[in-house]
Amino acid sequence: MVNFSLNEEQALVQKTARGFAIEHLAPGVIKRDETETFPGEQIKMMGELGFMGMMIPEEWGGSGMDTISYVLALEEIAAVDASAAVVMSVNNSLVCQLMLDCATDAQKEKFLKPLATGKLLGAYSLSEPQSGSDASNMCTTAQKDGNHYILNGTKNWVTNGISSDVVLVFCITEKGVGYKGISAFIVEKGTLGFSTGKKEDKLGIRGSDTCELYFENCRIPAENLLGEEGVGFKIALNTLGGGRIGIASQALGIASGAMELAVAYSKERKAFGKEIHKHQAVSFKLADMATEIEGARLLCLKAAWMKDQKKPFGKYSAMAKLFSSEVAMKTTVEAIQVHGGYGYVKEYHVERLMRDAKITQIYEGTSEVQRIVIGRAVIEE
């Protein structure tokens, strides 16, 4: 049976997220973008609302909600502040979800509980200067030394790298065996030998911080190994499969936020004696936006539903991310066009949304990588 209606809890989550975004994220969003200011206070409040560990069971500090609710909340947050949305997405679907799937009870007690309640913030560190799409080509090593591992290497492009308390780091524990030599570790901020680089000066999502991480003879307890040695790459890819639902929802939100602004503007602005939406060229743009956004939303919800049903969802999350991110880019460009010259200045928000949209085609696997994932799945079916 196909049912497109939301249940009571899902509808409440959507309403709460929308209300929160309007009341607490909209004020100052332009300034935070300009000054690259992390929305620390707002992220704390999102933790209190249960938005930082949405799909984590209550026994581990989360809200015990479904992935559909997560998509709904992220869309609303991203429609107003895409930077806050990526902070939320990384903490939920990369950090907390990985820990739920792979951590021991002791690790969950110590790290997952505070991460899922929003008391701590997490980051996920796979990429390195020479290895992004080809992530298994990493160089950072973790060498066992008694009850410790010693980490050495440089990671880059780490979202929440500066503001986080805990980072999940992927390292080589056995050389010469390719991806089978990669393991995952929990590294706490403040550990000797672990430092962060400068904040990257980015095109978009400027309210979120992104930086390099440096490990120089950084000793961490052996009990911080996640899963077993050698399974890190599998863990990384499985986690990214779910993460893509988050980024797809972020892209969806950016698109729906831009469209909402374009529709409102088209009713206010007059040209040649009538509101501009009465010019068919403008209303066709709005029609295309609405149709493509609805398609993106359906793909996001389908991927979320598949995950909630514990069915294989990798192809669907890749499709959702590919399509939603392309829709976000196209919609935001057209939203600027609908605004004319006003769309080109910061005050009207759509230029920021366009800058924010671009990253959704790049991180957690570029659009090209999503096509590789989908293409492989189609052939294997």
Ligand X SMILES: Cc1cc2nc3c(=O)[nH]c(=O)nc-3n(C[C@H](O)[C@H](O)[C@H](O)COP(=O)(O)OP(=O)(O)OC[C@H]3O[C@@H](n4cnc5c(N)ncnc54)[C@H](O)[C@@H]3O)c2cc1C
**Catalytic center residues:** 364
Taking the alpha carbons at both ends of the chain, their separation in whole angstroms is 23
**Site map for ligand X, 76-95, x if CB under 6 A?**
--------------x-----
Q: Which residues partner with 220 through β-bridges? A: 149
Choice between 289 and 369, CB closer to ligand X: 369
CA atoms within 13 A on the CB side of 179: 12
- The answer to the question of residue 202 lying near ligand X (CB under 6 A) is yes
What the block records as the tokens of 255 is 């698109």
Q: Which residue's structure tokens are 């505070």?
A: 114
- Tallying the residues shown for the chain, one arrives at 381
Between residues 246 and 343, which has the closer beta carbon with respect to ligand X? 246
The verdict on 363 binding ligand X (CB under 6 A) reads: yes
For 18, other C-beta atoms within 10 Å of its C-beta total 17
Question: Of residues 275, 337, 366, 377, which one binds ligand X by CB under 6 A?
Answer: 366
Nearer to ligand X, 159 or 325 (CB): 159
57 or 132: whose CB is closer to ligand X? Answer: 132
- HSE value, Cβ hemisphere, 13 Å, CA-based, for 243: 22
The verdict on 332 binding ligand X (CB under 6 A) reads no
CB of 85 to ligand X, least distance (A): 13
Q: Minimal CA–CA distance to 183: which of 135, 231, 125, 222?
A: 231
- Does 196 contact ligand X by CB under 6 A? no
Question: Do 38 and 29 contact (CB within 8 A), yes or no?
Answer: no
- E strands of 133-278, at which residues? 141-145, 148-159, 166-172, 182-188, 194-196, 210-221, 225-226, 270-271, 274-275
Given 127, 140, 164, 324, the residue binding ligand X (CB under 6 A): 127
Quote the least distance from Cβ 353 to ligand X, whole Å.
Answer: 16
The residue range among 111-119, 141-149, 226-234, 366-374 that interacts with ligand X, by the rule CB under 6 A, is: 366-374
Among 70, 88, 73, 69, smallest CA distance to 9 is for 69
Q: Which is nearer to ligand X, 246 or 365 (CB)?
A: 365
Binding mask 31-70 for ligand X (x = CB under 6 A): ----------------------------------------
Q: How far apart are CB 80 and ligand X at their closest, in Å?
A: 19
Residues that bind ligand X (CB under 6 A): 90, 124-127, 132-134, 157-159, 202, 210, 359, 362-366, 368-369
